[in-house]
Each structure stands twice: as structure tokens, then as C-alpha cells.
Amino acid sequence: MTMGTRALWLLPLALFAGLVVLMAGNLGKPQQAVVRSHLVGKPVPALALEGVAGAQGLTNADLASGKPVLLNLFASWCLPCAVEAPQLEALRAKGVTIHAIAVRDQPADVEGFLAKHGNPFGRIGQDPGGRMMIAFGASGVPETFVVDGKGIIRFQHLGEIRAEHVPMLMAELEKAR
Amino acid sequence: MRAWAVALLLLTGVPAVAEPPPPPDVPLADPVAEQKAKALMGELRCLTCQNQSIADSGAAQAQAMRVEVRERIAAGEEPEAVRAFFVERYGDWVSFVPPARQDTALLWAAPLLFLALGAVLVMRRIRR
């Protein structure tokens, strides 16, 4: 056997070793991929949702009002949604209009959630079946979309809004102006 | 006595905040359409349990996606159009079947390339 063929025999072993290193490097890393909505830059999907908790329902006209707004997807059963409540209140206090969609929720539960954590929302549409989440390309709750004055989705924030995200969302709203 | 009470509470108590379980699936009345819908469900990825198809997943969003698939198929949409609806929102990632495009040509051709490589190696061995 020449040196060349011997090296060739070692090739599968080297490939296998490379695979092991690659896999070992990925151990312990989160397996959950972040799936961004591909509707950013596109118009808001058609929607006509009934109101809940005393708020008026949500239609496309509310999301094309001439000025940028936030659209928050939340649910009473979602813990991070309670975590982001103070930040939504802070955004509202800065004069931001925030509309919401209550995902897979019961009216009484939404009322209880808003009574406990505060209600920063202008309009709240009900999405009992979770179909609007799919329509928006959302992969979970909470998610927050920046929608410009013409009804075009300009930005998507996945997960809860933490204090450090507030200035970033204000900047995105300004960009969407 | 107290320990028993605590144990009972732990066993029967429900967490204060929990996602409600999804409603049961309602198959389409038309068996052909249901078959089409089911086949597509096996090829769409669940966003909550990302390594499961929406056909296999018990997640509430997978259930909502199954409802979406069934309604669109029942309305006469072709499975490929329904797949396109999801890809438009979530990207290629949502489909377990990779699209046939120029940038995925190598992926689709790979089995043939490896088969050809194998054939060449076998031929050389036989000739020797």
C-alpha cells in the first residue's frame, strides 16, 4: 500500500471526526430556531376582529390610520405577556397607539389579565382560533409589530418587550413615520 | 395528614397560568380532501415543536395550522397553493420539502452525483 492510498483510507475517519466535533459544538445550544415573519415590508393581512374586554374590535382601517402604531399579539395564559406589561404602559405613556390581538383566549380571561396587569391598548381584536397569528407569520406570543400609517408591516419584535427594547421600538416607530 | 393534603394539592392543582388545550380536530367530510389535507400536514413544520410536523404535534398553534390547511383544501385550493400560503409567511423553513430552485439544485442532484461516484469506483475495481 502506498502513502497515497493509506491517506485515502484515513479520509472517512477524518470526516467522521469532523462530524463529531461539529455535533459536540452544538450540544447544549438552544434548538429552537427564531422564525421571523416574512410579511415585514408587506401589507397587514385582511382582518376584521370582534372586540373584547370593553374595547372596540380591530379592522385594517385601524392599522392604516396615517401614523405608525404598534400591534401587540398577547394572551392571558402567556407569562412573558405579563412581563412586558410595564413596557407597553411606558410606550403608551410616550404617546404611542398600541392595538392588540388576544390570541386563543376567553373574553373573561382577557378582562382578568387586563385588570391585573393594566390595559395600554386602544383596540383589542379577538382571535379565538389563533388564525391571525398564522396570517401575520407570527410564531408565538407575545409578538409586537410596527405598522406604518399606510398599513405596511415595518418591524417585528419576537418575545417580550424588555426595558431595553423600548427605545429601539420608539426608533422603529420613528423610522416608519 | 398535612403532607397528604399538600401531596393532593400538588397532584390536582392546575398552574395559575397555562395555555388552554387546543380543541379536537374535525376531519373534512370528503375523504379525498381529508387525504390531501393530511398529506400536506405531514410536510409542514410546527412552529412550537420545531422538529415535528403539524400532523404530529399537539401544540395549539399546530392545531390552528391544521384548521387553516383543512379550510383551504375544503375551499378547493390545491395543496401546493396552501403550502405557498405558509411559505409566504414563514419562509421555506416551514416546509419539510425543500423547494426545487436554482439555489437548491445541488441538494436535489446530490443523490445522483453520489450514485455516479459509486458507479465509477465500482467500475474501476472490476477493471483492475
Residue B50 DSSP code: T
More confident residue, B101 or B82: B82
- Closest partner CB to B89 (pick from A31, A32, A134): A134
Q: How far apart are CA B12 and CA A167, in angstroms?
A: 44
86-105 in chain B: CB under 8 A from chain A: 86-91, 93-94
Out of A14-18, A156-160, B13-17, B117-121, which region has the weakest mean confidence (pLDDT)? B13-17
CB contact under 8 A, A130 and B60: yes
Cβ distance of A139 and B86 shorter than 8 Å: no
Question: What is the mean predicted confidence (pLDDT) over B71-98?
Answer: 95
Residue listed under C-alpha cell 370593553: A54
Q: How far is CA B80 from CA A27, B36, B55, B56, B76, in A?
A: 36, 10, 17, 20, 12
- Tell if the CB–CB gap between A37 and B86 is shorter than 8 Å: no
Residue B23 confidence (pLDDT): 86
| pLDDT-based confidence at residue B17 (cuts at 50, 70, 90) | low
Q: Quick one: average pLDDT of B19-47?
A: 92
Q: How far apart are CA A34 and CA B91, in angstroms?
A: 12
- Name residues of chain A where pLDDT drops below 70: 1-4
pLDDT class for B11, splitting at 50, 70, 90?
low
Nearest-angstrom CA–CA distance, A77 and A112: 11
Chain B contact for A120, CB < 8 A?
Answer: no
Q: How far is residue A175 CA from its own chain's centroid?
A: 19
Interface of B with A in 13-52 (CB under 8 A): 17-20, 22, 47-48, 50-51
Q: Is the pLDDT of residue B113 over 70?
A: yes
- Best residue in B61, B72, B87, B95 to probe A by mutation, most A CBs within 10 Å? B61
Number of A:B CB contacts under 8 A?
64
Other beta carbons within 10 Å of A150 = 14
Residue B6 confidence (pLDDT): 62
> Cα-flanking dihedrals φ and ψ of residue B34, to 5°?
-60, -40
User: d(Cα A171, Cα B8) in Å, to the nearest integer?
Assistant: 51
Q: Cα A169 vs. chain centroid, distance in angstroms?
A: 13
- Give me the pLDDT at residue A143, please: 96
Q: Are residues A38 and B89, on separate chains, in Cβ contact within 8 Å?
A: yes
Q: Tell me if A149 sits within 8 A of A64, measured CB to CB.
A: yes
pLDDT at A30: 74
Percent of chain A that is helix, strand, coil (3-state, to 5): 40, 20, 40
Residue B34 has pLDDT above 70, yes or no: yes
Residue B1, min C-alpha distance to chain A (Å): 33
Of B18, B64, B86, the CB nearest to A133: B64
* A134 contacts in chain B (CB < 8 Å): 61, 64-65, 68, 86, 89
Instruction: Give which of A99, A86, A70 is closest to A169, Cα–Cα.
Output: A70
